[in-house]
Structure formats: structure tokens, C-alpha cells
Amino acid sequence: DPGMDPVVDVVVIGAGQAGLSSAYFLRRAGLDFVVLDANPGPGGAWRHRWPTLRLGTVHGIHDLPGLALPHTDEDRPASEVVAEYFGRYEREFDLPVLRPVAVKAVRDTGSTLRVETARGAWEARALINATGTWDRPFWPRYPGQAEFAGRQLHTADYRGPEEFVGKRVVVVGGGASAVQALIELAPGAAATTWVTRRPPVWRDGPFTPEVGRAAVARVAEAVEAGRPPESVVSVTGLVLTPEVVEARRSGVLDRLPVFDRLTADGVAWDDGRFVPADTILWATGFRHALDHLAPLRLRGHGGGITVAGTRVAADPRVHLVGYGPSASTIGATRAGRAAVAELKRYLAGRAAPVG
């Protein structure tokens, strides 16, 4: 019976950095809210990141508001450290996170947003969507993909270099995940080949706050114009760590343009080149996980959802946090604060008269 569904000011979908930051500020604003998270435990996407991604090798994890990430052994997997930190954070601020609760669809009832899950529905006056990208790995399509007899996997399935020992591996993609995988795989693999659509962009020079701000501004410009966001890394360029410098010197990061097709036993280019392969690792990135918002028809002609800051231009009840320019731990933290400040004003303006 839809009349029996719980009614709240705000439903937050997702309990990663973006959802937890939003929840912290919703609590402080005194709003009535619930956080619905598809994961079985705390950590957001970090729960699923490969064990060789260590705290000391990630780009940097920004603190959530109000409780700092504890200092700990840099060698520990980031997945463990962040899951513990987020779990402690949820308890410390007594955040109402329900899990595992996967949102299937959000519909406009006219008066509220109806958030539908396998464990019932919620009626919300406003929505903060903080679902990240991990649940939508992007696999490009190439001719012959179904004929390839070896193994194909995406970064989202990567667990470390062990299973590639003795294999001939082709890594596809120009981002940081491709670079890290190649550096890890190369020593044990029989052969590695790196292919990217465009020549990789190396950052020479330090990653300064100015560089970060310029990259974020470029992504913001795209989403405010209704275009789909590029990843922030594609805009900042790849960081030249000592490992990367060494890998470039030794040839591990020599790159070829992407093949034209896959065959049963390798990859082929129209100019006659062929590279035999046992495994293809698609390090081809992610898209925002927004399928559940499809009934709201937020996507415009530019292929993206037009936003003003975090607010969806076409529906002021809906905010996207961790989307486009805020798809980083620092961006998500700030965007949660901004979204709640706006929603607080919006909900106050629409409050039903008392009595």
C-alpha cells in the first residue's frame, strides 16, 4: 500500500564519500533523512577495490567532515582502511544507513519522489543521489569481441597480478588504473601490451592545487552545459611517480593505438599488425550509476544531466553529489555540504503551513 510508505525530507542513495558527507550535513541541518546503500557493509566503492591498491599508493583520500581518516600503515589495502573508517564514521554520527538496499527506481508522484527498492519504498521530498560509478564499469565494443577465446575482464574485476603470471596480457585504456595494472603485471606476465585510443598525457610538473582546480572547472563546465562528464584524471594527466618513470624507461609503458578487432587468439590492426593474447584487461573506466533515475527523465539533448552546482537544473528536488566535477573524495565531501545547504533552503521554502 503506497500510502503506508515512510515519508522523509531527504533520501540519500549511496553511502560512499558523497553519501556520508551529505548525511553528516543533513544531520546538522536537523532534516529527517535515510541513507539507502546497496553494499552489504560500509566503505562505498572502496570495499571492492583490489587489494594491491594500498593506502600509500592511492592519489589521496580526503577526510569526511568531522572525523579525520586515522593514521595507519601505508601498506594496508585502501579497501580495508576506508571500510573501517566509514564504519566508524557511521556509528560516531549515528547515521541512519540501511543496507543492503539497492534502489531500483525513483518516480515522481507529483508531490513526492517515490524511491523504490526490493525492501519497500520511501516517499521523499528531496533526493541526494550519491551512487558513484563503480557499479557501471564501461566496456567498449570492438569487432570480434565474442570470438576471443581467452579471458576478458574489467578493472572492476581486477584483484592483483597473481592470476596473470605466464599470460600474454593486453591492457586497454589510458587512465591510472591501466598504468598501475601494467606496472604490477609486467614482471610475472609472459608479455604485456598497452593500447590506448589517444596518446597518454603525462603530467610533468607537480600536481598543484591550481592544476586540480583547472581540471575540476573543465569538468564542471561540461556538466553545467548538459554534456556527459569526462573523468577528472583524463583532464589532469597521469602522475609520474618513481615507479611510472622506471616503467617508462624499461618499455612497460610503450603504447600502441587501440587494435581494430579481436580474433580468437589475439588482437589485430587493419594495417596487418597482430599481437597474440591470453587475457584482455579492459581498464576503460566507469560511467555514473544513474539507471534508477531513468523514470525522472533528467537526461537532456547533450547526453548528460544538466546541473547547476549539485542541483539538477530540470528538478530542484534532486541533487547529484559525487557527479562530474565532484567525483573525487575532496569534491564529494564539499558537494555534500553544498547540496544540503541548498536543500535546507528549498525545503524551508516549501514547508507546509503549520496548524
Q: Which of residues 213-232 bind ligand FAD (CB under 6 A)?
A: none
Complex with ligand FAD: residue 73 or 271, whichever CB lies closer: 73
3-state SS class at 128? strand
What single DSSP character describes residue 77? B
Q: Which of residues 140-159 bind ligand FAD (CB under 6 A)?
A: none
CA distance 135 to 102: 11
In the complex, the smallest distance separating the C-beta of residue 309 from ligand FAD, rounded to whole angstroms, is 16
Nearest residue to 320 via CA among 128, 133, 135: 128
- Distance, first Cα to last Cα, the chain: 27
103 belongs to the binding site for ligand FAD (CB under 6 A): yes
Instruction: Show the binding pattern over residues 165-184: x = contacts ligand FAD (CB under 6 A), - = does not.
Output: ------------x-------
- Among the candidate windows 16-24, 26-34, 161-169, 271-279, which touches ligand FAD by CB under 6 A? 16-24
44 belongs to the binding site for ligand FAD (CB under 6 A): yes
In the complex, the smallest distance separating the C-beta of residue 37 from ligand FAD, rounded to whole angstroms, is 5
Q: Which of residues 324-343 bind ligand FAD (CB under 6 A)?
A: 327-330, 332
Q: Which three cell numbers stand for residue 30?
A: 536537523
In the complex, the smallest distance separating the C-beta of residue 13 from ligand FAD, rounded to whole angstroms, is 5
192 belongs to the binding site for ligand FAD (CB under 6 A): no
CA distance 216 to 88: 30
29 belongs to the binding site for ligand FAD (CB under 6 A): no
CB count, 10 Å around CB of 168? 18
Complex with ligand FAD: residue 61 or 341, whichever CB lies closer: 61
- Residue owning grid cell 571500510: 83
Cis-peptide, bond into residue 100, ω within 30° of zero: yes
> In which region does residue 166 sit, left (phi positive, over 0), alpha (psi from -120 to 50) or beta (all else)?
left
- Among the candidate windows 24-32, 58-66, 185-193, 271-279, which touches ligand FAD by CB under 6 A? 58-66
Complex with ligand FAD: residue 168 or 288, whichever CB lies closer: 288
CA distance 230 to 16: 20
90 belongs to the binding site for ligand FAD (CB under 6 A): no
Specify whether the CB–CB gap between 34 and 122 falls below 8 A.
yes
Count of positions (residues) in the chain? 355
State the angle between helix axes of 17-29 and 78-92 in degrees (0 to 180), rounded to the nearest 10: 10
Residue type, position 89, single letter = Y
Nearest residue to 88 via CA among 46, 129, 41, 128: 41
Among 60, 66, 187, 257, binds ligand FAD (CB under 6 A): 60
39 belongs to the binding site for ligand FAD (CB under 6 A): yes
In the complex, the smallest distance separating the C-beta of residue 128 from ligand FAD, rounded to whole angstroms, is 11
In the complex, the smallest distance separating the C-beta of residue 107 from ligand FAD, rounded to whole angstroms, is 14
Chain contacts with ligand FAD (rule: CB under 6 A):
13-19, 36-39, 44-45, 49, 58-61, 102-103, 130-132, 134-135, 177, 289, 292, 322, 327-330, 332
